[in-house]
Amino acid sequence: MSFHTKTVHQSKKVSKNFNSKVTPIYQTSSFSFDNLDELESYFHGETPYLYSRYGNPNTDELGSAVAALEGAEAGVAASSGMSAILSALLSVAKNGDHIVACDDLYGGTYHLLDQEIRSFGIDVTFVSFANEEEIRAAIRPNTKLLYTESITNPLLRAENIPLLVKIAKEHKLITIVDNTFATPFLLQPCVDGVDLVVHSATKYLGGHSDISAGIVVGREDIIQVAKQKVVSLGANLSPFEAWLTCRGIKTLALRMEKQTRNAQFIADSLRENENIAKVYYPNNVSEKGNGAIVSIELAPHCDIRSFFSSLGWIKVVPSLGGVETAVSYPLGTSHRNLPKAAQEKLGINERVVRISVGIEDRQDIINQLLIAIKA
């Protein structure tokens, strides 16, 4: 071979006899075959991989790992939390169908349901899932599914999942629950009878603010449809990000245990502060705790800009779930495009702050927050 050819073909095939402790990164767009018969074997289900958009060992490992943690039958990885939600919705609903969704969702999900999903000819009704009668009243003959979050974003209402499953079974509906905030460390909605669970793995599953990924887990029959949606929509996750997410999951329990304890301390410490009008933090989510997010509403006399300018080492970011404590401004980021009437109804105003509590020493966290609140 010439030098030019050698530079292309210098890599050697790795023997399958090497027992790597960690799954290798299959950073490849496609897989090679020795002959046409071997290629044809893929289409007969005898060979697992052809093209990484269709499937890859790393993305398959991630889907299976989260499914196991959630007590689900199967799972599929996607390129982001939003693509996971879209794939889940379209695996159940089609043109002419109807969805009932809770009204206190993450702003991006609200927009997806209110704008994008409607463009598929699927109607959506938003109601308060804190009110059983509102849920029941919204169900129509063409309703296909109920959609909610196990802990809502950003005001942290803990969903009554057993009640939701009960209503769904009575009406033969599918349930989809976003379990991003709780994670399977605190809650496993599939175990309680939920059909599909979605995650923005960008948050706690990855845990280090360095990937963008989504997961759908649940019933095997629906997940097979969701997998096809991921493939057809080009919503597949890259092998490297899948590998990073799997690595992050290995410390999920350790991180959530610490972050949840820290968050409880922060919530309790701020309840009697004269400069705080409200502390949003759920109760009785799980025996293991109530999650790692605390939302607060500053008192009317406080200046929100001074607060955000005085946070010192605490980062201001539009996301959550990393090991570092960070704060976000829902009105200006995650819920910016929520209709004004919906913002007012939910209580998302200019003084609401969402705190993603990290793994730092809890006293350091509260000290820095109190400096900002005082400012």
3-state secondary structure 97-109: CEEEEECCCCHHH
SS3 at position 330: helix
Phi-psi region at 176: left, alpha or beta (left = phi > 0; alpha = psi -120 to 50)? beta
What is the strand order of the sheet 293-298 is part of? 276-280, 293-298, 352-356, 326-328, 315-316
What is the distance between the alpha carbons of residues 142 and 165, in angstroms, rounded to a whole number?
18
φ/ψ of 136, rounded to 5, equals -65, -40
Distance between CA atoms of 275 and 301, rounded to whole angstroms? 8
Task: Tokens for 282, please give them.
Answer: 């759920």
Residue type, 239: P
Q: Assess whether 258 carries a catalytic annotation.
A: no
Q: Which of 42, 49, 53, 54 is catalytic?
A: 53
Active site residue 261: no
User: Between β-strands 276-280 and 315-316, what pairing exists: parallel, antiparallel or unpaired?
Assistant: unpaired
> Of 203, 219, 227, 362, which is the active-site residue?
203
CA distances (Å), 304 to each of 84, 156, 280, 296, in order? Answer: 34, 21, 17, 12
13: DSSP letter? P
* 51 catalytic per annotation: no
- Burial of residue 283 (number of CB atoms within 10 Å: 0-12, 13-18, 19+): exposed
Catalytic residue among 60, 103, 178, 195: 178
Q: Is 53 a catalytic residue?
A: yes
- Residue 115's SS3 state is helix
> 303 to each of 298, 310, 318, 336, 353, how far by Cα in Å?
8, 11, 20, 19, 12
Residue from 26, 106, 110, 329 carrying the catalytic annotation? 106
Active site residues: 53, 106, 178, 203
